[in-house]
Every structure is written in structure tokens, then in C-alpha cells.
Structure 1
Amino acid sequence: MDRLLTELEADRNPSEQQISQHLARAAGLLGLEGLAVSLVPPAGSIELLFYTGALTAGLEDLQYTQGQGPSMDAITAGRPVLIDDLGDRGTMRWADLLSSVEKIGVRAVFAFPMFLGAARFGVMTGHRTTPGPLGQQQLADGLALASALTGLLTAFAAGAGAAGDFFAMDRDLYHSGVHQASGMVAAQLGISPADALIRIRAHAYQSGHPLAEIATLILTRRLNLAADHPPDHHTP
């Protein structure tokens, strides 16, 4: 891990492919089967940027759809959230989320907050398909990796001419379709985009379909949430 951390700190002009390769390598060194990095935008929910595979993306999608989970809690609390066995729910929250996560085969989740100075920058989330805790060295390595990835991502944004701001880059975000659908529903119902996102999430959860799929149905006008909800004329 020390060698990888040194490489991350020295790489001041990484490509997207290099970042993805670094992430896959880091997952193996931490004894994880997947890693994802999501950032905190100026407003709204966290935005998935890099991930190592379909199962990793599925885990992040479930958290994004329900608006809760280890990744969100790690950002809010500013400390790691370590769930070494999803089958042991005695002291856990997010019961519905954990049930969905188990269905896709994930049994352990480890979320590390990422800081830029004192500001909460994002979260690095890893998973395993078998239960088990991180060792003390793995935990220390995870914290160091989250810090090194923060520097790498700001360097990537700066290299793209965005002055270190990922959300100022000319780059499609993972949840771009969801954001567009929220805007459409907000206009139809006369509500805020944040409230529109809550309604889209609720529909995705109740229907059992991925949030991105529901967003696509809305954008292609094959699903009209306004048909179930009259416009709110009282919203300023």
C-alpha cells in the first residue's frame, strides 16, 4: 500500500483510466472486492464518480435511491462507518437498505469520509461478498487512501481546467439523468428539485426498479409522476 500511496501523491495529472486502475489496485490491497468514490456537490445528494465494477455501482445505486446508508453516514458523521457483517442487524439502521444490499450479494461495507481541508469532500466506500472486519492495518491504509485519493481527484479536476472543482468540469455525472428527471418533475408539479428527487426515489423504491431506469422513463415521457400528484401551486 505504501507504494501505491506514493504513486497517488506524485501523480498530478491523472487520466480517468489511471484513476480507475488505481482504485482497482487499492481494492485488492485492502482485501476488498470493490471500491467506489463519490463526492459531495455544493447542493444535493452525493455523486458517484469512480467505481470498480457492476456490483460496486449497484451498492451505490441502492444507497442513492433510498437516500441513506453507510456512505451518507460517513460523510455526515465525518468518520468511517464499518459494517463487517450485514447479517448482524442488532444495532444497525437502514433495515430496508441492508436487505436490498444483501440481495445483490454484498455482506460487508466500509465507508471512509474524504476531506479537503476541513470541508467534507466525499466518501470512499468498499465492500466484500463475505462478512468480516478490516484489520487494524487495513483500517489505517483505508484512511490514508481516502486522503490520497482526495488529492488525486483535485489534481484531475485542475488538469481538466476546472480549478480543482469536479462539478465545474465538462463531464457527464453518473446521475445526470436523475438530475434532469428531477428538474422535469419539479416543473410539472411546481415543487423544488429536492422534493422532486424524493418523489422519484419513492417511486423507484416502491416499484423495485433502479433509480436510473425510473429517470429514463420520466425523461422519455413513458412515466408521468404528475399524473399521480397534482401541481403544488403554493410552492414559491
Structure 2
Amino acid sequence: MADYEDLGRDLTRLVAQNGPQAPRRICEAVVASSLADGAAVTLISDPDRQEPICATDEIATRLDELQFSLAEGPCLDAHSLGQPVLVSDIADPADTRWPGFADGARATRARALYALPMRIGGARLGILDLYRLAHGPLSREEVTMALRAADAATWAVLNPGAGGRKAPAEVLEDLIGGGLARAEVHQATGMVAVQLDVPVATALARLRAHAFAEDRPLIDVARDVVARRLKFDPGDDSDLG
């Protein structure tokens, strides 16, 4: 069994050092310890407002994109419940919680997924997502270390550097409200809302439905809308099935 004492020391050191790269370095430390094969940090204010902060590799990035595109998955459940969601085998046919996400996740090499909430007090900031290439549960010690890593990521996000600690609401407004990585999705959602004369939430649902129907990443569909290569017609709802 792996010895995670070094990881505990690394997490303490990285939180103390702080800086804008601290969340990424925390993810890298988790992977280096063999606790997980990949990791990602995503901030969430609600299911439709998510902002990826960092990911260690393409699989972690893809898993995050799938959950945002489909509005389902262990990450969103962990955030809404405020507790870890641990999936020992995403290929288990008996687990029917997220049919769309599970299909997409099985297309990656990830087998086990562990979503740890990032929170302080009653405030929920987001999720530390971990995955392994081999199926299987986390041991009690590994769950403890994964939760410590999520706590470290929380403090790293709340203490971004020389500006000092920020309140959770300020962090979410700065990073999610600013639309760092998914600005095109937010812009496309607004354009579709105007095209269809519908609320923003409905417009985002239509974008997601179109991406799912075409088996394309949501960000690619959004870019087509922003570039005016794709326009939604109020009389055409074929993407809804």
C-alpha cells in the first residue's frame, strides 16, 4: 500500500507557498503520489456555471468537458450533495446514475472516478475530480488523503496570492463570472437565447442537446454559433430527438 505521508507534507507546503499555480501543483502532487492517475479542479456555482481551473492531462479534461456538456456526472452530484461521490468502476452496467456521461467516460481509459467537494463551512466552491485507469475503491486512508487534497485546493483557490484570502462568493464571481475558459459557451448561449426567444437556461439546454445529437463537444458547437456558422431556428427542434 502506498505511503501518503509525503503527499500530506506536499499539500501543506503548496498551500503555504500559494500563488496562481497552486491548484495545478496540488493536482500534480496527487498524481505523483499514485493516489490517482489524473486530477482536475473545477469551480461550480450551479450546474450551468462551471469553470475548469486546471487538469493534469487530456483524460481529466475530457471527463470535465463531458459533465459540463451533459449536465450530469459524479462531479455535479458531489457538488449538489456536498459529499464525495466515489465510483469504483464507471463501466459497471448496474450503475445507471449517469447514462450519457458513463457512455462518454467509457470511451476514455478512465475506469474509477472520485469526485471530492471543495467547500469551506457551508459554502461550496467546486470539485476536485480524480480518476484511475484501474477500477477499484479507495481505501479509508486514500479517501482521507483525497479529502485533504480537496481542502488544499479549496484554500489555494481562496488565497490566490498577494491579494490575500477571498470570500467564496468573490472567488466564484471573479473566476466563473469572468468566464475564463468557457466564455464562448456563455456567449453562444446568449446568442441562441435571442435566436429562439427563450430564457438563457433553455438556450443552454438546446446547445447541449445539439452537441449530444451531433456527438460533438459543446465548446465546438458554441464556437460555430459565435462564428455564425450555426444558427438555431425556432421552428426546428430536431436536435431534441
Using the size of structure 2 for normalisation, the TM-score is: 0.86
Matched, 1:216 2:188: no
Structure 1 residues 219 and 143: CA distance shift in structure 2, 3 A: same
Given the superposition, is the C-alpha separation of residues 159 and 26 from structure 1 closer, same or farther in structure 2, using an over 3 Å criterion?
A: farther
Contact 2:26-2:152 within 8 A present in 1 as well: no
Q: Which runs of 5+ in 2 are unaligned?
A: 1-6
Match of 1:96? Answer: 100
Which of 115, 122, 130 in structure 1 is aligned with 2:119? 115
2:64 aligned residue: 60
Question: How many residues in Structure 1 have an aligned counterpart in Structure 2?
Answer: 228
User: For the residues of structure 2 that align with 1:202 and 1:79, how far apart are their CA atoms?
Assistant: 29
AA in 2 matched with 1:35: A
C-alpha distance in structure 1 between counterparts of 2:46 and 2:71, whole Å: 17
Aligned to 1:3: 9
TM-score w.r.t. length of structure 1: 0.88
Matched AA of 1:131: H
Identity %: 31
RMSD value, Cα: 2.3
Supply the AA of the counterpart residue of 1:183: G
Which whole-Å CA distance do the structure 1 matches of 2:46 and 2:74 have between them? 20
Deviations 1:119-150 (A, max 9, x none): 11111111122212112211100111111110
Moved more, 2-11 or 192-201: 2-11
> 1:137/1:46 Cα in 2 relative to 1: closer, same or farther (>3 Å)?
same
In the aligned structure 1, how far is the partner of 2:47 from the partner of 2:99?
27
Q: 1:92 to 1:41 in 2, by over 3 A?
A: same
TM-fit CA distance, 1:173 = 1.7
